[in-house]
A and B are shown apart, each in its own frame.
Chain A
Amino acid sequence: KNLCAQRLPTRGVETQAAPCCGFPAAMMTYNIDVGYLEGLLRGYRAGILNSTDYANLTQCETIDDMKMHLSSTDYGNFLQNEPSPISTTTLAQKTTEKLVEEFNFLRMQAVEPLATFLDYITYGYMIDNIILVLTGTSHNRSSEELLEKCHPLGLFDSMATLCVTQSTSELYRTVLVDTPLGPYFGDCISLEDLDEVNIEIIRNTLYKAYLEDFHAFCMKVGGETAEVMGDILKLEADRRAINITVNSLDTDLDLKSREKLYPTIGLLYPEGTSRLIKATDLDAVRSAIDAFPDYRGLLSEGYDDDKTIEDQFFELEVNLNRLAFEQQFHYGMYYAFVKLKEQEIRNIVWIGECISQDQRGRINQYVPIF
């Protein structure tokens, strides 16, 4: 139990002698460390599919047509050794592989503090993977199947052992203590069983701690990174807060424990979250976020069939990430690149699904990027 009292240490930051962009003179030396990577990254960014590509993709009749078109883009002949017909799973797998390959190359070349920054990006995927394995195990799925479904960016060594854990304390002791996520876990130890609600709580607790830690790290790096990443992470935090509230409306989660899950960053904090805590129905949530112009439209339109609240958040996120590339001398665009690429993969898979399930009417519901 004493583990609960453990405070979150802010990792990685103390060791850096000079944060990259804190003062203007840093711009002069910025490219010594990061110039090559930035060149690469901007090249990668140029490879992100544009609206013409999407227009072509949506006209395809089979996934093989998509393959043909994608081979004329930056994806190249990444599907050339796949026997047709190609499934959307293969599509998702191969596109993700490409992203991971690019990311890993950046990670290998990076020096501090960018290296730590890139590591932070992977923590989010680790949390998702842990939750995926835990949920899967509770539904008696086999470990191989679960591991295959995990996002390759969030893989870590002892991941498979997640399947044997029975309780949260065991989870912490056998698996997470070795991972970077260990410190985030402090508040969850008190939960006993790994049932669905608790897993959800674990996810949100981890995420809250992760976001706050990441935010603190970015602030420490300072400069444009703090500015750009601040905006992006605030949006992420607000999305979490709103989602938690909306999803817990009909559950028996008490308000006290809900409060603990709200991140302490974001536009909504503290006024918005304090209102969200008290919300017991959707109208209350709506009125809570109405004061924030960025989110005003979310729930009012959210119940149209047209766009889900999730898609709207995706659009907001894509917009912020796109803006990240308008500035220089900051790390935010590495994060933005990964997120945009992830969105692109979602788009490609969506188009692929629409084609293979013959739902052409909905094919245009992807989130355009550039």
Chain B
Amino acid sequence: LASPSCATALCLAVMGDLWRSKKMSLVQLVVQNGAAHAVVSKLGELGMMQLRDLNAGQSFFKRSFVDEVRECDDLQRILRSVEEQLVEAGIAPSSSGATDPSLPSLDTVDAKLRAAEVEVETLKASQSLFERNNNALDEQSIVLEMGKKFYKTGAAPALSESDMATSLLSLTEFGGQASSMLSVLAGVIKTESVAALERVVFRATRGNAVFQQKTVKTKLLDTSGKVPELVQKTFFMVFFSGAVLGDKVSKIATYFGATLYKYPSTALDHAAMTYEVHKRKAESAQVLEQSTAILRGALTSLAAAYGPWSYVVAREKMVYDALNKCEFDLKRAVFIAEGWVATDEYEALVTSLQSAAVAQGLDTRPIINLIQSKLTPPTYVPTNAFTSGFQALVNTYGTPRYREVNPGAFCCILFPYLFGIMFGDFGHGLLFAGFGYWLISKEKEWEGKDLGDMLEMVYGGRYICFLNGLFGAFVGLLYNEAFAFPMGFFGTSRWEGFEEEGLSGMTCEHLERCELSGPIYPVGIDPIWHVTENKITFFNSLKMKISIVVGVLQMSLGIYLSLLNHLEYKDVKKVLFQFIPEVTFFGGIFGYLVLTIFMKWSTDWSCPLDHAAAEAGLPAAEGGICQPAPSLLTLLINMFMSPTADITVPLYGIECFGGAGNPDCAGVAEAGYCVYPALAAACPVSCGAPVAAGDFVDLLRAATVDEHTGAMLSSEYKICISPLQSYIQLKLLLAAFVAVPILLLAIPLIEIYQHSGNKYDNLDEDDHEAEDDGHAFSAGDAFIHQGIHTIEFVLGGISNTASYLRLWALSLAHKQLSMVFWEMVMLPPLQSCRAGGSSWRCAVPLFFGFAVWVVLTTAIICCMEMLSAFLHALRLHWVEFQNKFYKGDGKKFVPFSFQTMVENMDDEE
């Protein structure tokens, strides 16, 4: 057990705080009542401590400082209304002056803010009064003006200029009475309700009124609401006769929200009134201007104070909220606060609190105790600019449990690596990395600014982008691919012999006609593979195997990390009965699969080039082992389906037996096969039956008649088997099958045993707080939980391994897509260039072809493909990797800090 902890120490040195969440201590502060506020403020400045709610269960409005919180709420309401006023007036409020040392106290802010509110209210009120007044004068002048127009168009032709002094509608034809029979009502109303008004007036007067209307061109204030606003209004005039009707009409008009204005009955009055209105309008405009200036002045001075004030109020509210979480001991006149602090910051906290107490001149220093507790501490994983993005990916799935191995530490490299395998293209990768680098270079400029949702997200993941791009380029280098081309960084292909035939005719079978000239290609895949006919088959086989290898390695890492977790929590039974069976099962099957992949890769399966020798059936003199390469899929299937049968296409430990003589087919009728006595004699142990199985015996030479002697020559046979491989596979399979029931049963049984012994221990545990007590033990639950875990692990081993094949699939899709774009868009213009002709006929299609190609490459490959590769890499991390060890049910450490508050405030703005 020494080595994992040693590894832990090593990792700790390399990965620092990211490896496991920090150790936390529960700290208790005991301070005299008077100093409570000062101490909590200090805590907020330090931002090291997460306060526990000691009054949980008590409803909020019964806590000690609820009045102060309410006060702050009220102040925030005032601040909000002030902000509204400022925005309305187009003045930018100052930002929060968190760094300003000379911040006013809450009481000062309270007094000043309330005074300012009253002042602004008063100014607003008088301002609005002036506005209304001004508006009324406006409307009056409009009524006068438009009314006159109505008369001019309607009645004026009947009047001569000398009639100015008489009534405008004298109606002398009705008997010459001096006073007119028709009265008039004029006013303005919102355009939207003029039709309804007209209708109702018509109905109410039974048609005995004439209604005239005209839309006013300029917009006027609607003063009916609390806040006056500019609306479209219509001027109207109603002619009617009789006082009763007039009363009714004016009432109706008022109810419809119309403003009625006096309309003079004679032209002289009209002129006088117009003059009067104009005079008053000029005065009123001046007054309005002045009052607007005063209001603006008041608001400007408020705007400067707005930032610091809102900061103070928000800070104080936070302090009182925190104080509400503390316990107040009235008898001893002390308050008690409890909270979590990172253990290594404890000393710093103590010293700064003590020095703060001295600086504040407190009589007694705060008493600070460390408390032993069974409570689960919060998870505190400090991050920096580089790791925060990766840690965020992990936290989105779940915050790590306290002191659990943090997958974020591995995510930093493994995530880009998996991404790279899927996005493997040197050119695209570099483009993407360049984008990431550009984002990083903007760090100084953009940090702490509001960038908008989309950009904020991309900016937060700038290091992810950069690393993803780099890894994409790196894997692209290994695939030897840039924009779907092979690259020649290390010279041309090492295979020779293609020149005459052209490249497209090459297949793997024909490679024997080519020769490897010198050492193999130093980095990545030989470029020739991109042009052979069987390139897809070749790459598929390669990438599929790479996917499995990477996947199994990553999952094994996950399983070993679970070991580190068990050790951290000192859970021996899980080490013995969970980790070991898991490793046995997983390593025995999938680890073995990876091993066979490497074995198959490192074995030279080819036959020597000596065709004559091959035809003569002579054993290989040089070159490979001249055996059919086994299909690994079949190998794995046979390992499960027929574990005891002999392996006829072996991978390693190959033993071959040969013999001559004709098969004895006497028993073919009942047994279905012929027996080769010669082979059976040669083969040592296991060949008894298998040799007889006919179908996998290599016939090296059929029975022939000797040319010279004419004698019948017997056939020659060969059989190759691998007893070693059979043996190993059988043992591995047995081990895996034994591991499963252990995994399933051992832990629940142990737990049942543990809980049956100590019935009375629970009494002690009752002393601890309820949240720690957990659930009562139940044997059924234990079995179900372990059963679920087992099923998930065993089935997951298979399905997760298969799931890693997405690495291959996405990589294939990426390559094919970029190749299609190249062939469909860029190749035709290039070919037309090659075909010759004028340079225009080459350049123009090339120009547009290139443009289209660039757009497609950026939009589809670099954006869409990138997203899908990102998503799949994320899934592989969350599901396939993390389910091997990660619980992710921790609570995030949220220190009580004014700094975070300021950030939140800025975000809201």
Name A residues whose Cβ lies closer than 8 Å to a Cβ of B: 56, 59-61, 64-65, 68-69, 80-84, 143, 157-158, 160-161, 163-164, 170, 173-175, 177-178
Q: Indicate with 1 or 0, residue by residue over B429-467, a CB within 8 angstroms of chain A CB atoms.
A: 000000000000000000000000000000000000000
Q: Does the CB pair A174–B77 fall under 8 Å? A: no
With A83-B74, A84-B70, A178-B199 known as contacts, the answer to whether A164 contacts B60 (CB < 8 A) is no
**B61 close to chain A: CB less than 8 A:** yes
Q: Does the CB pair B59–A163 fall under 8 Å? A: no
Q: Does the CB pair A158–B61 fall under 8 Å? A: no
- 8 extra A-B contacts, CB within 8 A, seeds A164-B248, A174-B203: A69-B60, A81-B80, A161-B204, A161-B252, A161-B255, A163-B251, A164-B251, A170-B204
Q: Does the CB pair B77–A81 fall under 8 Å? A: yes
With A80-B77, A81-B77, A83-B74 known as contacts, the answer to whether A164 contacts B61 (CB < 8 A) is no
Q: Determine the distance from Cα of A177 to Cα of B200 in the docked complex, in whole angstroms.
A: 11
Residues of B within 8 A of A164 (CB): 204, 248, 251-252, 255
Give 27 CB contacts A-B under 8 Å. A59-B59, A61-B61, A69-B60, A69-B61, A80-B73, A80-B77, A81-B77, A81-B81, A82-B77, A83-B74, A84-B70, A143-B255, A157-B196, A158-B196, A160-B255, A161-B204, A161-B255, A163-B251, A163-B255, A164-B204, A164-B248, A164-B251, A164-B252, A173-B203, A174-B204, A178-B196, A178-B199
Residues of B within 8 A of A81 (CB): 77, 80-81
**B256 close to chain A: CB less than 8 A:** yes
Residues of A within 8 A of B248 (CB): 164
The 3 closest A-B pairs by CB, nearest first: A160-B255, A65-B61, A174-B203
Residues of B within 8 A of A157 (CB): 193, 196
Q: Smallest CB-CB separation from A62: which chain B residue?
A: B61
Give the distance to chain A from B76, nearest Cβ to Cβ, in Å: 8
Q: Does the CB pair B60–A68 fall under 8 Å? A: yes
* CB-CB contacts below 8 Å: B240-259 with A: 248, 251-252, 255-257
Q: Determine the distance from Cα of A150 to Cα of B248 in the docked complex, in whole angstroms.
A: 23
Q: Determine the distance from Cα of A173 to Cα of B201 in the docked complex, in whole angstroms.
A: 11
Q: Determine the distance from Cα of A64 to Cα of B69 in the docked complex, in whole angstroms.
A: 12
Residues of B within 8 A of A170 (CB): 204
Residues of B within 8 A of A68 (CB): 60-61, 70
Residues of A within 8 A of B74 (CB): 83-84
Q: Smallest CB-CB separation from B249: which chain A residue?
A: A164
Residues of B within 8 A of A175 (CB): 200
The bracket for how many chain B residues form the interface is 20 to 34
Q: Determine the distance from Cα of A84 to Cα of B72 in the docked complex, in whole angstroms.
A: 12
With A59-B59, A174-B200 known as contacts, the answer to whether A83 contacts B77 (CB < 8 A) is yes
**How many residue-residue contacts, CB under 8 A, span A and B?**
53
Residues of A within 8 A of B81 (CB): 81
Give the distance to chain A from B84, nearest Cβ to Cβ, in Å: 9
* CB-CB contacts below 8 Å: B220-275 with A: 248, 251-252, 255-257
Q: Determine the distance from Cα of A185 to Cα of B870 in the docked complex, in whole angstroms.
A: 68
Q: Smallest CB-CB separation from B195: which chain A residue?
A: A157
Q: Which of B73, B199, B255 has the most CB of A within 10 A?
A: B255
Q: Determine the distance from Cα of A342 to Cα of B685 in the docked complex, in whole angstroms.
A: 91
Residues of B within 8 A of A65 (CB): 61
Residues of B within 8 A of A60 (CB): 61
With A68-B61, A178-B199 known as contacts, the answer to whether A160 contacts B256 (CB < 8 A) is yes
Give the distance to chain B from A162, nearest Cβ to Cβ, in Å: 8
Q: Smallest CB-CB separation from A177: which chain B residue?
A: B203
Q: Determine the distance from Cα of A161 to Cα of B202 in the docked complex, in whole angstroms.
A: 13
Give the distance to chain B from A165, nearest Cβ to Cβ, in Å: 9
Name B residues whose Cβ lies closer than 8 Å to a Cβ of A: 59-61, 70, 73-74, 77, 80-81, 193, 196, 199-200, 203-204, 248, 251-252, 255-257
Residues of A within 8 A of B73 (CB): 80
Q: Which of A59, A61, A158 contacts B200 (CB 8 A)?
A: A158
Residues of B within 8 A of A69 (CB): 60-61
Q: Which of A160, A173, A178 has the most CB of B within 10 A?
A: A160
Q: Smallest CB-CB separation from A64: which chain B residue?
A: B70
Q: Smallest CB-CB separation from B199: which chain A residue?
A: A178
Q: Smallest CB-CB separation from A61: which chain B residue?
A: B61
Residues of A within 8 A of B59 (CB): 56, 59
Give the distance to chain B from A151, nearest Cβ to Cβ, in Å: 18
Q: Smallest CB-CB separation from A84: which chain B residue?
A: B74
Give the distance to chain B from A153, nearest Cβ to Cβ, in Å: 20
Q: Smallest CB-CB separation from B81: which chain A residue?
A: A81
Give the distance to chain A from B240, nearest Cβ to Cβ, in Å: 15
With A81-B80, A143-B255 known as contacts, the answer to whether A161 contacts B61 (CB < 8 A) is no
Q: Smallest CB-CB separation from B73: which chain A residue?
A: A80
Q: Determine the distance from Cα of A60 to Cα of B199 in the docked complex, in whole angstroms.
A: 52
Q: Determine the distance from Cα of A56 to Cα of B62 in the docked complex, in whole angstroms.
A: 12
Q: Does the CB pair A161–B77 fall under 8 Å? A: no
Q: Smallest CB-CB separation from B247: which chain A residue?
A: A164
Residues of A within 8 A of B252 (CB): 161, 164
Q: Which of B70, B80, B256 contacts A161 (CB 8 A)?
A: B256
Q: Determine the distance from Cα of A82 to Cα of B81 in the docked complex, in whole angstroms.
A: 11
Residues of B within 8 A of A160 (CB): 255-257
Give the distance to chain B from A168, nearest Cβ to Cβ, in Å: 15
Q: Determine the distance from Cα of A81 to Cα of B200 in the docked complex, in whole angstroms.
A: 39
Residues of A within 8 A of B251 (CB): 163-164
Give the distance to chain B from A275, nearest Cβ to Cβ, in Å: 43
Q: Determine the distance from Cα of A164 to Cα of B205 in the docked complex, in whole angstroms.
A: 12
With A80-B77, A81-B77, A81-B80 known as contacts, the answer to whether A161 contacts B200 (CB < 8 A) is yes
Q: Determine the distance from Cα of A178 to Cα of B198 in the docked complex, in whole angstroms.
A: 13
Q: Determine the distance from Cα of A160 to Cα of B196 in the docked complex, in whole angstroms.
A: 12
Q: Determine the distance from Cα of A174 to Cα of B60 in the docked complex, in whole angstroms.
A: 55
Residues of A within 8 A of B193 (CB): 157
Residues of A within 8 A of B256 (CB): 158, 160-161
Q: Smallest CB-CB separation from B257: which chain A residue?
A: A160
Residues of A within 8 A of B60 (CB): 68-69
Q: Determine the distance from Cα of A80 to Cα of B257 in the docked complex, in whole angstroms.
A: 31
Q: Smallest CB-CB separation from A65: which chain B residue?
A: B61
Q: Determine the distance from Cα of A60 to Cα of B61 in the docked complex, in whole angstroms.
A: 8
Give the distance to chain A from B832, nearest Cβ to Cβ, in Å: 52
Give the distance to chain B from A65, nearest Cβ to Cβ, in Å: 4
Q: Determine the distance from Cα of A69 to Cα of B81 in the docked complex, in whole angstroms.
A: 23
Q: Smallest CB-CB separation from B202: which chain A residue?
A: A174
Q: Determine the distance from Cα of A61 to Cα of B196 in the docked complex, in whole angstroms.
A: 48
Give the distance to chain A from B202, nearest Cβ to Cβ, in Å: 10
Give the distance to chain A from B652, nearest Cβ to Cβ, in Å: 62
Q: Determine the distance from Cα of A271 to Cα of B871 in the docked complex, in whole angstroms.
A: 70
Residues of B within 8 A of A161 (CB): 200, 204, 252, 255-256
Give the distance to chain B from A69, nearest Cβ to Cβ, in Å: 8
Residues of B within 8 A of A61 (CB): 61
Residues of A within 8 A of B77 (CB): 80-83
Give the distance to chain A from B104, nearest Cβ to Cβ, in Å: 22
Give the distance to chain B from A138, nearest Cβ to Cβ, in Å: 16
Give the distance to chain A from B254, nearest Cβ to Cβ, in Å: 8
Residues of B within 8 A of A64 (CB): 61, 70
Q: Determine the distance from Cα of A338 to Cα of B252 in the docked complex, in whole angstroms.
A: 33
Q: Determine the distance from Cα of A174 to Cα of B200 in the docked complex, in whole angstroms.
A: 6
Give the distance to chain B from A82, nearest Cβ to Cβ, in Å: 8
Q: Determine the distance from Cα of A68 to Cα of B59 in the docked complex, in whole angstroms.
A: 11
Give the distance to chain A from B333, nearest Cβ to Cβ, in Å: 26
Residues of B within 8 A of A177 (CB): 203
Q: Smallest CB-CB separation from A59: which chain B residue?
A: B59
Q: Determine the distance from Cα of A69 to Cα of B62 in the docked complex, in whole angstroms.
A: 12
Residues of B within 8 A of A143 (CB): 255
Residues of B within 8 A of A80 (CB): 73, 77, 80
Give the distance to chain B from A7, nearest Cβ to Cβ, in Å: 23
Q: Determine the distance from Cα of A173 to Cα of B70 in the docked complex, in whole angstroms.
A: 53
